Amino acid sequence: MTQITSAMSSQAVLLDLDGTLIASRDGIIVCLRAALRELGREPDPGEDLDWVIGPPLPDVMARLLGDVGAEAIETGMRAYRAQYDRVGLHESPLFPGIADFMDDLANSGRRVFLATSKPLHLARRILELRGLTGYFDGFYGARPDDTGAEKPELIADLVAREGVDPERAVMVGDRRYDITGAHANGLRAIGVLWGYGGRAELEAAGADALAESPQALFALLEAQLALRPVPSVSG
């Protein structure tokens, strides 16, 4: 193994899913509106629901339903999950340029992990539908009941299980949860501007860099990882 190859394999890239790799907004919102109708609530068609992309589902449903109690929120989540399983996961195309970015990342020799608040079984199905599972060294997401979705805890679990060195790792995501979750675990974080958080949110969260497009993301990753020490390799 060459020194360069060894250095690259010691580095890790953590990728969010919704709003980072896939354009999931329309599928998620359609399913949320359908779930609300099942509960007898007619959603306002003019309401901006971009904020629902990123937070854990229990938080989203609690905000949409208001102070209705845990049982009603759980009922709403079940309705949403059923809708998403039938419709939403098929309405999640890759953002333009992501396929080429994943090729570049794979060719770099770095380890790549999924770190998403989406239930892991759904995330893996989406990646399978898009032909992306082979690019990843590991997959981390929420449990089927949407617990375990908080980014700080999820990333901490990934780091511990995979032996990731936070000083040689970068998180990539489109929402403040990705940035703060990474920083809570000592990782640098790149915010992507084609997703659902936006520049102001990502800057306020303290993103270490902002990517304007998937085409620019790989170079930004290289620059951020270069700011951290790489191991010396003898021989």
Please give the Cα distance from 187 to 179 (Å, whole number): 9
Please give the Cα distance from 139 to 77 (Å, whole number): 23
First-to-last alpha carbon distance for the chain, in angstroms, is: 10
Give the percent of the chain with pLDDT over 90. Answer: 60
Quick check: 124 pLDDT over 60?
A: yes
Tell me the whole-structure pTM to 2 decimals: 0.85
Choosing among 3.40.50.1000, 3.90.180.10, 3.40.50.1100, 1.10.1040.10, the CATH entry for 3-24+93-226 is 3.40.50.1000
What is the rounded average pLDDT of the residues 136-162? 94
Q: What is the pLDDT of residues 176-211, one digit of tens each?
A: 999 999 999 999 999 999 999 999 999 999 999 999
For 47, 49, 98, 100, 145, the CA distances from 93, given in Å and listed in that order, are: 23, 19, 10, 14, 24
Looking at residue 231, its pLDDT comes to 45
- Note if 100 is an active site residue: no
Model confidence band, residue 55 (pLDDT cutoffs 50, 70, 90): confident
Task: Give domain 25-90's CATH architecture.
Answer: Orthogonal Bundle (1.10)
Model confidence band, residue 7 (pLDDT cutoffs 50, 70, 90): low
Q: What stretch(es) of the chain map to CATH 1.10.150.240?
A: 25-90
In the numeric block, the tokens 């109708």 are attached to 37
**For residue 171, which of 225, 127, 124 has the smallest C-alpha distance?**
225
Model confidence band, residue 146 (pLDDT cutoffs 50, 70, 90): confident
Catalytic residue among 16, 146, 174, 208: 16
